Chains A and B, each alone.
Chain A
Amino acid sequence: MDKVFIPDEILLQVDKPARYTGNELNMVKKNPEDVDIRFAFCFPDVYEVGMSCLGLQILYFFLNRREDTYCERAFAPWTDMEAAMREHNIPLYTLETFTPLKEFDFVAFTLQYEMCYTNLINMLDMSGIPIYAKDRTEDDPIILCGGSCAYNPEPLADFVDFFYLGEGEVEYDHILDEYKEHKKNGGTRDEFLYKLLEIPGMYVPKFYDVEYNEDGTIKSFKPNTEKAPKTIRKVVITEMDKVFYPEKMLVPLIETVHDRVTLELFRGCIRGCRFCQAGFVYRPVREKNYDTLIKQAHSLIDASGDDEISLVSLSTSDYTCFNDLANGLLDDFAKDKVNISLPSLRIDAFSLDLMQKIQEVRKSSLTFAAEAGTQRLRNVINKNLTEDDILNGCALAFSGSWERVKLYFMIGLPTETEEDLIGIADLSAKVVDKYYEIPREKKPRPVNVVASSSCFVPKPFTPFQWDAQDTYQEFAEKAKIVKSHIARKQIKYNYHDAKLSSLEGVMARGDRKVSAAIYRAWEKGCRFDSWTEEFKFKEWMESFEETGVNPAFYANRKREFDEILPWDHISVGVTKAFMINERKKAEMAITTPNCREECSHCGAASFGGGVCFESAKKNKV
Chain B
Amino acid sequence: MNQPKKIRFKYRIKYTKGPELRFVSHLDIMRVFQRAVKRAKLPIEYSHGFNPHQIMSFANPLSLGMTSIGEYCDVEFTTGVDTKEIKDRLNAVMNDGIDIVNVTKMAQDAGNAMASISACEYEIYFNELMDKETVGKYAEAFFNQKEIITMKKTKNNYKETDIRPDIFELKDISDDECGKLMVVLAAGSIRSLRADLVAENFCRFAGVEFNKYKVRYRRNDMYRELDGKLRPLDEEVDIR
Contacts and interface: CB of A to CB of B under 8 A. Distances in A.
B110 interface: no
A305 B64 contact: no
Contact of B20 (A9, A23, A361): A23
Interface string B55-77: 00000000011000000000000
Contacts of B95: 23-25, 253
Contact of A305 (B39, B46, B216): B39
A81 to B, nearest CB: 12
Given A12-B64, A23-B97, A337-B46, A18 B24 contact: yes
Given A8-B65, A12-B65, A12-B213, A305 B24 contact: no
Given A9-B213, A25-B95, A253 B51 contact: no
Size class of the contact patch on chain A = 20 to 34
B107 to A, nearest CB: 28
B96 interface: yes
Interface in B101-157: none
A11 B24 CA distance: 11
A453 B46 CA distance: 41
A304 B34 CA distance: 11
A304 B28 contact: no
A362 B50 CA distance: 8
Contact of B213 (A8, A24, A254, A305): A8
Given A304-B39, A336-B38, 8 more contacts: A8-B213, A17-B64, A18-B24, A21-B20, A25-B32, A306-B38, A337-B46, A361-B51
A253 B65 contact: no
A307 B23 CA distance: 24
B20 A305 contact: no
Given A12-B65, A17-B64, A253-B24, A305 B50 contact: no
Name the prevailing secondary structure of the A interface residues.
loop
Interchain residue pairs A-B with the least CB separation, the first 8:
A305-B35, A9-B213, A305-B38, A305-B39, A17-B23, A23-B20, A361-B50, A253-B24
Contacts of A337: 46, 52
Given A337-B52, A361-B51, A362-B51, A18 B39 contact: no
A8 B216 contact: yes
5 contacts: A12-B212, A18-B23, A18-B28, A251-B35, A305-B36
Contacts of A255: 28, 31
A313 B212 CA distance: 48
Contacts of A444: none
Interface in A1-53: 7-9, 11-13, 17-18, 20-21, 23-25
Contacts of B161: none
* Size bracket of the B interface: 20 to 34
A306 B35 contact: yes
Contacts, number: 67
B213 A23 contact: no
A328 B38 CA distance: 20
Given A12-B65, A12-B213, A254 B28 contact: yes
A222 to B, nearest CB: 52
Interface string A137-163: 000000000000000000000000000
Contacts of B214: 8-9
Contact of A21 (B23, B46, B52, B213): B23
Nearest to A303: B39
B68 to A, nearest CB: 16
B25 interface: yes
Interface string A297-318: 0000011111100000000000
A356 to B, nearest CB: 15
A336 B50 CA distance: 16
A302 B39 contact: yes
B38 A307 contact: yes
B37 interface: yes
Contact of A23 (B31, B39, B96): B96
B206 interface: no
Contacts of A18: 23-25, 28
B21 interface: yes
A312 to B, nearest CB: 20
B224 to A, nearest CB: 29
